[in-house]
C-alpha cells in the first residue's frame, strides 16, 4: 500500500465514522419499543431544518478534528525554530 493510499484511507475513516453514526441513528428507529422511539425522536430532532445544519456542522468539525488528531499522532508536533540573520550592518536603510 502506497503512502498516498494510506493518507486517503486515514482521512476517510472519520468520514465513514460520521456516516456510520447517521446510519445507526436512522436504522435505530426501526427497533421495536422504547429504543426505537428514542432513535426516532433523535432523528426527528436531528433532521429538522435548523438543527440539520447544526448537526452536520458538528459532525463535520468532529471529522476534521479526528483527522487532525490522527495526523498529529502520526507525524508529531510541527514546531519549527527559525534562524533570523541580522543583515542590518551590510544593508543600511535611510
All cell numbers assigned to 27: 436504522
Instruction: Give every CB contact of residue 52 below 8 A, 6+ residues apart in sequence.
Output: 46
> Model confidence over 39-77: pLDDT tens digits?
999 888 888 888 889 888 888 888 788 878 877 887 777
Q: Give the separation between CA 46 and CA 27, rounded to whole angstroms.
A: 14
Q: Give the separation between CA 39 and CA 30, rounded to whole angstroms.
A: 8
pLDDT at 45: 87
pLDDT reading at 22 higher than 70: yes
Amino acid at each position: 500500500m502506497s503512502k498516498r493510499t494510506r493518507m486517503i484511507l486515514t482521512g476517510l475513516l472519520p468520514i465513514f465514522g460520521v456516516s456510520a453514526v447517521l446510519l445507526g441513528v436512522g436504522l435505530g428507529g426501526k427497533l421495536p419499543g422504547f429504543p426505537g422511539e428514542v432513535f426516532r425522536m433523535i432523528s426527528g430532532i436531528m433532521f429538522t431544518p435548523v438543527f440539520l445544519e447544526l448537526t452536520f456542522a458538528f459532525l463535520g468539525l468532529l471529522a476534521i478534528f479526528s483527522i487532525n488528531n490522527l495526523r498529529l499522532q502520526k507525524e508529531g508536533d510541527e514546531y519549527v525554530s527559525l534562524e533570523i540573520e541580522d543583515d542590518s550592518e551590510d544593508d543600511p536603510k535611510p
